[in-house]
Amino acid sequence: MEDLAVKSTAAAFAETAGVGHNWSRNDGIELDLSWVVDQRVNLSAAERRVATLPGRRTVKKDAQAAWLLKAVTCIDLTTLNGDDTAERVKRLCAKARQPVRQDILEALGMGDRAITTGAVCVYHRFVSTAVEALEGCGIPVAAVSTGFPAGLVPHDVKLKEIEASVADGAREIDIVITREHVLTGNWQALYDEMRDFRAACGDAHVKAILATGDLKTLRNVARASLVCMMAGADFIKTSTGKEGVNATLLVTLVMLRMIRAYQERTGLKVGYKPAGGISAAKDVLNYQFLMKDELGREWLEPDLFRIGASSLLADIERQLEHHVSGAYSALNRHPIG
């Protein structure tokens, strides 16, 4: 952890703070069924690897503040509720522009850095609202699509929804796969579906939501990850946040190793996004540690790492305030929007 474990938070972020989008496109490859069906997961070994992570990796004081600030820049600040309104989305966008209070940044020696979240994620209905609210700041709008969260609307409707969000200004599209294709082992159907989604996104980046809590086994998670990357997913994402089980470190380990295997074979880099259930600063640190251990320092940047969250930001800001003041403030002093 030596590259972020430094004496000063300002030094840790001298070159890396803020939103960076040096995106590379994953154009995908032909479906290799032999590679897909050959995937196996050693469950006991994976469980041991995850169980030992918190004890072997830790950061404190300024170094921890640096890691948490880096996490802020990777958050897809999200509102995906039935009672969303345009005003709520505008407030969320304002928070994305200034996710950490200026007095806290000043105390950390980071007052002159442009710290923003990685993106704002909304339903299609609010894409144009978010685009307008974020104009000029460089923060992209991500739209959930393809019948989110169940993904069971007709295929042509899914494609039209993607196209509509891109037309409204979304630069990232979070699609949901058809879980049935995974559960029945119909890898060709999953590949074809994902290829269509890739094409409909045009220049927008596409994140493939696997809904891992619905896929039953880690082997299914590994195979679905690989197929989606072969079909052109720029990111693979754990969950919609609406499943019974969302992001976990165990699922993350499996998906990261598929990303590594895909890069080793193709030379193409694919990003990773855990989503759902990550609400505490201490939890996001473990995801960051695992990312760096498995994929390297480059995967700690928003180009290749995003965190689907809303309440997480409030806890990070609270922890940063404690770091500079020595006292915890009430959580309601750190609203997300």
Q: Which residues are catalytic?
A: 174, 237, 273
- Give the number of other Cβ atoms within 10 Å of residue 138's Cβ: 13
Instruction: Write the secondary structure of 191-236 as one string of H (helix), E (strand) and C (coil).
Output: HHHHHHHHHHHCCCEEEEECCHHHCCCHHHHHHHHHHHHHCCCCEE
Omega before 54 within 30 of 0, i.e. cis: no
Q: Which amino acid is at 337?
A: G
Cβ neighbours of residue 225 closer than 8 Å, sequence gap 6 or more: 210, 236, 254, 255, 258, 259
Q: How many CB atoms lie within 10 A of CB 94?
A: 13
Token pair 């299609």 is found at 124
Contact by Cβ (8 Å): 79, 148: no
Beta-bridge partners for 172: 142, 205
CB atoms within 10 A of CB 305: 24
Residue count of the chain, please give it: 337
Under DSSP, is residue 206 helix (H, G, I), strand (E, B) or coil?
Answer: strand
Rounded distance, CA 99 to CA 274, Å? Answer: 20
Neighbours of 211 (CB within 10 A): 26
CA 295/CA 260 separation, integer angstroms: 7
